[in-house]
Amino acid sequence: MNFYLRNKNEKGYTIIYIGGSLGYDGACKLNELVNNELNSGVNKIVLNLEDLKLIASYALSVILKISYNIKKKNGYFAIICPEGNVWDVFYVLELYKVIPFFESEEKFWENEKKQQGLS
């Protein structure tokens, strides 16, 4: 499974797309990317894991650290993750209780509109 990591800025959010298998090296790249975004003043970050097939335990710890760092900066952090193997890991760890989860990017933007009172 080929790993990829890319990001885009949209409506004040940085959306980070991760696909393939997220192991140690990928988690380090993700952490670096998020730290660069935070250092540049961005504090609204969403991970889109729709194409992620496998996640290593180290990557989970990096995601939790990212969540903590964003909250320290009074930012917003969410994860887009449909049901499947990766979702099952988050569900067992009950991470959805501390990080907002959405099943698709469309659902995330629908929620954002509701929060802004635009729906």
> pTM of the entire structure?
0.93
pLDDT of 118 reads 61
Tokens (6 digits) for 98? 């501390």
pLDDT of 115 reads 83
Residue with the two structure tokens 């730290």: 35
Q: Where are the domains of the chain?
A: 4-116
> Which residues does 83 contact at the CB level (< 8 Å), separation at least 6?
103
Q: What angle do CA 25, 3, 101 make, to 5 degrees?
A: 90
Fold (CATH) for 4-116? Transcription Regulator spoIIAA (3.30.750)
Residue with the two structure tokens 């903590």: 68
Q: What is the pLDDT along the chain (119 residues), one digit of tens a residue?
A: 689 999 999 999 999 999 999 999 999 999 999 999 999 999 999 999 999 999 999 999 999 999 999 999 999 999 999 999 999 999 999 999 999 999 999 999 999 988 887 65
Instruction: Find how far residue 15's CA is from the centre of its chain.
Output: 8
